[in-house]
A and B are shown apart, each in its own frame.
Chain A
Amino acid sequence: MFSLDLFANAIVAGLLLGGFYAAVTIGLAIAFGQLDIVNIAHPAFVIVGSYIAWIVNTRFGIDPVLAGLLAAPLFFLVGSVIYRIYYAAFERTGQESLSGLAFFFGMMFIIEVVLILAFGVDYRLVSAGYVGATIQIGFVGIPLRMLVPFGVATLLTLGVYLYLSRTFMGRAILAVAQDRLALQLMGADPVRVKQFAFGLAIATAAVAGSLLIIIGPVEPSVGRQYIGRVFAIVVLGGMGSIPGMFIAALVLGVVESLVASFMGPSWAPAVAFGVLLLTLALRPSGLFGRA
C-alpha cells in the first residue's frame, strides 16, 4: 500500500540520514579517493569517536558534537602515526594493495575487540537537550537527533571541500592524488603531504563518531555495517570528488530509507552493497567521476 505521507517522511528521513553518511564517508573519500589508501578500518575509527563522545558526555556532560571536535586533534595525530607505519611497511616497498588491505582489516578487528574488552557489548548512548525533540512540519516529522547530525555533517563536508580547494595545503593534497612525482619535482615532500591528509581523514572520524552516537545507540560491532555504505558512497560519488560524495551519500540515504519503509528494515543493509556491486559492474568511475 502506497501512502503519500509515509513516502514524504521516508524521503526526508533519507536525506537527513544521507547527510550523516557523508560525515562518516568524508574521511574515506580523502584516504581512498585521494590517497589510494584503502582504509577499511575507517568505520572502526568512527566507533572509537563515538565512544570518546560517550565517555566525555557521561563524565563531564559536554555536548557530544563538541566532544567530537575536541577529540579531532588527537585523531589527527593517530592518523599521522598510522600513515607512517603504513608508508614504511607497504607503500615504500610497493605492496600496498594486498598487504595494506589486510593490514587495515586486522586493524579493524583490533579496534573492535579492544572496545569490547574495555566497554563490553552493551549499547551506549548520549544525552543532550535535542536528542528527544521533533519538529513537525505538516505531516513530515523531523527529529532533531537526525537534523543536528545532518547540519554538522553538511558543515564538515563544506569545510573540507573549501579547505581542499582554497588553501595551499589542501591543493597540495589534491596534487599528490593527481601526480605524486610532479609534486616531488615542485620541491614538496609527498610523504608529508599524505601523512597530513591521512591525519585529516582520521580526524573527521572523531566528528562522525559523535554524530553516530547522537543518532542512535552504539556498540563496538556497529562499524561493520558502515563498511559497505562508505565504500559504496565513495565509489558512487566518483572516487575523491567531495561534492560527488555528498550527493552519493544523500542518494544512498534516500534509497535505504525507502527500502526500509516499504520493504522492511531487514532488507536495508543489502541496499548499500547492491548499489556498490551495480556501480562497480556498470559504471566503475561513479556518477561524477571522469569516465
Chain B
Amino acid sequence: MKISPFWVCVAAVIATGLLFTGVAKNEYYFNATYVILQATIMAVAWNILGGFTGYVNFGTAGFFAVGAYTSIALSKAWGLPLPALIFAGGAVCALIGLGVGYLTLRLKGVYFAIATLAMAIVFETLVNNWSYVGGAKGAYILTPDKHLWFDSYIEMLFMVMLLLAVACVAISRALNSSRLGRGLAAIRDDEVAAECAGVPTLRLKLISTTLMGAMMGVAGAPYPFFVTFVDPQSAFNLFVAVNAIAMPMIGGTSHWLGPVIGALLVGTMQEIITVNVSSELNVLIVGIMLVVFITLAPQGIVGLVRKYRSRRER
C-alpha cells in the first residue's frame, strides 16, 4: 500500500506540534500559533462554501461567535468538558449552516452575501440582549486546572487546535477531489446548467453550508478558554470575517491548498506586524492585500504558481 505524501505531512505536522509543546517554554508562541490555526480553520471553512461552491458568506464572524457562545452557555450551565463543548459548538453552527443552506434556494449571489451579513448582526443583537452569557458586558471564563500531560492550559489548547485544523484541512482536501466536490464546482460555474445535468444542487449546497457552519463553530468553541473574557464586540469582530475571506482569496480559492497557504502566510505576517508595529496597521495591510490580490491576481497564490508552471512547461 502506498502512503500518500499528504498523510506523511499530517503526521509530521502533528509530531512537530507535540515536540513544540515539549520544547518551547515561552507561552507567547502558543498564543501566536493558536491564532494562526484558528484563522486556518476559518479560512478552510469559508472556502468550502465560497471557493468550492461559489456562495460568498460575509457572516463568518456570526458562526464563529455562535460557536464561542454555545461553549460559554454550556460550560456555565453544566460545566461540560472541552471536547463536548467543541462538539456542541460544531453541532449548533452546523444547524445554522443548514438553515443558511435553505436560504440559497431563494437568494443568489449578492443577495445571499448580504443576507449572511444580516444574519451575523441579528445574532449579535440577540447575544447583546441575552444576559445569561453576559450580554453586552461580556463573560469571564475560568480555564480549568487540568491540562492532561501538557505544561500549561494554552499548550493543550494549541494541540487541540492543531488537531482540529489538520482534520478540517483533510476534510477539505478529500472534498476537493471527490465526486461531491465536482458537483460543488459545477454549481459554482453554472448552477442552472448543473441542475439540468442532474447534479442534486440543493443537497450539495446543504452539505457544503452545513460543513462550513460546523467547522466555524468548532473554531469558535475553544475561543472563550483562549481569551478567558468574551464580549459580543470581540466575538463578532468583523476582523474575523475579513480574515476568513481575505486568506482564501489571497491563497487561491479553487484548490484546497489555497486557504491553507493564505492563512499561514497572512496569519504569520499579522502576528509579526502586530508585535513589531501596531494592530491597526495589520488590519490595513490585510485590506490592501485583499484588494490588490483580487484586482491583480484573482486566482491567488495557487493561481500564480500554476501560471508560472504552465509557462515553464511550454
For residue B109, CB closer than 8 A to chain A, the reply is: yes
User: A89 contacts B115, CB within 8 Å?
Assistant: no
For residue B287, CB closer than 8 A to chain A, the reply is: yes
Contacts of A273 in B (CB 8 A): 117-119, 121-122
Contacts of A266 in B (CB 8 A): 125, 128-129, 136
**Distance between Cα atoms of A102 and B296 in the complex (Å):** 13
Question: 0/1 per residue, B212-255, Cβ < 8 Å to A?
Answer: 00000000000000000000000000100010011001000000
User: A38 contacts B110, CB within 8 Å?
Assistant: yes
User: A89 contacts B295, CB within 8 Å?
Assistant: yes
**Distance between Cα atoms of A277 and B114 in the complex (Å):** 9
Contacts of B249 in A (CB 8 A): 102
For residue B257, CB closer than 8 A to chain A, the reply is: no
* The one of A98, A110, A114 that contacts B56, using a Cβ cutoff of 8 Å: A98
For residue A206, CB closer than 8 A to chain B, the reply is: no
For residue A231, CB closer than 8 A to chain B, the reply is: yes
User: A106 contacts B287, CB within 8 Å?
Assistant: yes
**Distance between Cα atoms of A231 and B117 in the complex (Å):** 11
User: A110 contacts B284, CB within 8 Å?
Assistant: yes
For residue B269, CB closer than 8 A to chain A, the reply is: no
| Nearest CB in chain A to that of B111: its residue | A280
**Distance between Cα atoms of A110 and B289 in the complex (Å):** 10
**Distance between Cα atoms of A281 and B99 in the complex (Å):** 12
Q: How far is the CB of B153 from chain A (nearest CB, A)?
A: 32
For residue A130, CB closer than 8 A to chain B, the reply is: no
Q: How far is the CB of A25 from chain B (nearest CB, A)?
A: 14
Q: Given contacts A85-B295, A101-B56, A280-B106, is CB(A113)–CB(B125) below 8 Å?
A: no
Q: Given contacts A117-B281, A266-B125, A280-B111, is CB(A228)–CB(B117) below 8 Å?
A: yes
Q: Classify chain A: how many residues form its interface, as a range.
A: 35 or more
**Distance between Cα atoms of A270 and B54 in the complex (Å):** 27
Interface of A is mostly: helix
**Distance between Cα atoms of A264 and B267 in the complex (Å):** 39
| Nearest CB in chain A to that of B50: its residue | A98
Q: How far is the CB of A139 from chain B (nearest CB, A)?
A: 30
For residue A134, CB closer than 8 A to chain B, the reply is: no
For residue B194, CB closer than 8 A to chain A, the reply is: no
Contacts of A99 in B (CB 8 A): 294, 298
**Distance between Cα atoms of A116 and B278 in the complex (Å):** 12
For residue A218, CB closer than 8 A to chain B, the reply is: no
User: B114 contacts A276, CB within 8 Å?
Assistant: yes
For residue A105, CB closer than 8 A to chain B, the reply is: yes
User: B110 contacts A97, CB within 8 Å?
Assistant: yes
22 contacts between A and B (CB under 8 A): A89-B294, A99-B294, A102-B56, A103-B294, A106-B290, A106-B294, A107-B287, A109-B284, A109-B287, A110-B284, A113-B283, A228-B121, A231-B118, A267-B129, A269-B124, A269-B125, A273-B118, A274-B122, A276-B114, A277-B119, A280-B114, A280-B115
